[in-house]
A = this chain, B = another copy of it.
């Protein structure tokens, strides 16, 4: 897999301009490094956070991911807990993105106030939903976001009011056939920066698994409409390796629990090569150092 591949796709499609389809004349400072990487055609990967622990958050945010995918749809995290995590780990390289539970004014207000630079909207099957998200996530004149207290200034600088509209990304997730049916409208809605093809709910809704032609046809629509609209295409991390030519650039990676399991397995096998061997298996053919 070559980085070139991504750029090639990107170039073929014209310029990828995240947060730009909606941007104002004189773009300001960019501190959302995810936007910069995507603009260069590089893939970005988010580590998933679904537990309210600042130390765990920081471990993920400093582990090599480009952003944190703070999961508030399928977790019970409160904004108060998420605020503490983002703040405790300010300065980490991963940019905070929040998958909000819904696109209400309250959700988007709080997510942006506490400093998220990415808002991921689940289950978009209605244009009004993503339009609301865009509206509440951007300051006037682009949207109707309210100004007021928050951590954003201490996190991102005193010019936040002037620069936020260029740094807050909107990611629309299409997770059902009803969403696929309006994929073109979603992808072309001003202010939508990326469209994410969600594999798991798409299976649940379509009752088809990955690889099934019916399932793949749904995914193709999302992919084609997104790229045709010049937006960033997102999907599960497995597709970074398995669909390298498809133009996916924005990926959701594993959560802290899965990372701990992977890390523990590596650590324990390294320390004690016999630890996880099933009985009767020799790590090196012909020898079995793990049996007495």
* Residues of chain A at the chain B interface (Cβ within 8 Å): 1-4, 7, 43, 45, 47, 50-56, 58-60, 62-65, 71, 73-84, 87-88, 101-102, 104-107, 109-110, 113-114, 122-123, 125, 139-141, 144, 146-150, 161, 175-176, 200-201, 204-205, 207, 237-238, 240-241, 251, 253-268, 270-276, 289-292
| 4 pairs of A and B residues whose beta carbons are closest in the complex | A74-B148, A263-B263, A259-B263, A63-B264
**A5 → chain B, closest Cβ, in Å?**
9
With the chains together, A271 CA to B243 CA distance in Å? 11
11 new A-B pairs (CB below 8 Å) besides A59-B256, A71-B149, A262-B266?
Answer: A53-B56, A55-B256, A60-B264, A73-B148, A74-B113, A75-B150, A101-B110, A146-B201, A161-B204, A253-B271, A259-B264
CB < 8 Å neighbour of A45 from B2, B78, B268: B268
Q: Complex: how many Å from CA A106 to CA B65?
A: 28
With A3-B274, A53-B51, A275-B64 as known contacts, state yes or no: A204 contacts B139, CB within 8 Å: yes
Nearest residue (CB) in B for A80 is B76
Report the minimal beta-carbon distance from A217 to chain B, rounded to whole angstroms. 17
Do residues A53 and B50 form an inter-chain contact, with CB atoms below 8 A? no
Chain multiplicity (copies): 6
Least CB distance, A59 to chain B, in whole angstroms: 4
Separation of A203 and B62 alpha carbons in the complex (Å)? 29
CB distance from A215 to the nearest CB of B (A): 13
Cross-chain contact A74 with B146 (CB below 8 angstroms): yes
A55 near B45 (CB under 8 angstroms)?
A: no
Determine the chain B residues whose CB is within 8 A of the CB of A265 once the complex forms: 63-64
Residue in B4, B74, B205 whose beta carbon sits within 8 Å of that of A109 in the complex: B74
Residue numbers in B under 8 Å from A275 (CB-CB): 64
Q: Which residues of B contact A201 (CB under 8 A)?
A: 146-148
Taking each of A74, A84, A271, which has the highest tally of chain B beta carbons within 10 Å of its own beta carbon? A271
Residues of the B chain whose Cβ atoms lie less than 8 Å from the Cβ of A176: 140, 144
Indicate whether A262 sits within 8 Å of B262 (C-beta atoms), given known contacts A7-B292, A290-B2. yes
Partner of A291, one of B4, B64, B102, B254: B4
Q: A2-B289, A259-B260, A263-B263 are in contact. Are A45 and B76 (CB under 8 A)?
A: no
A268/B65 in contact, CB under 8 A: yes
Cross-chain pairs A/B with CB under 8 angstroms, 15 sampled: A4-B291, A43-B272, A51-B55, A59-B260, A64-B276, A65-B268, A76-B80, A76-B83, A78-B78, A106-B107, A140-B207, A144-B176, A147-B200, A253-B268, A262-B263
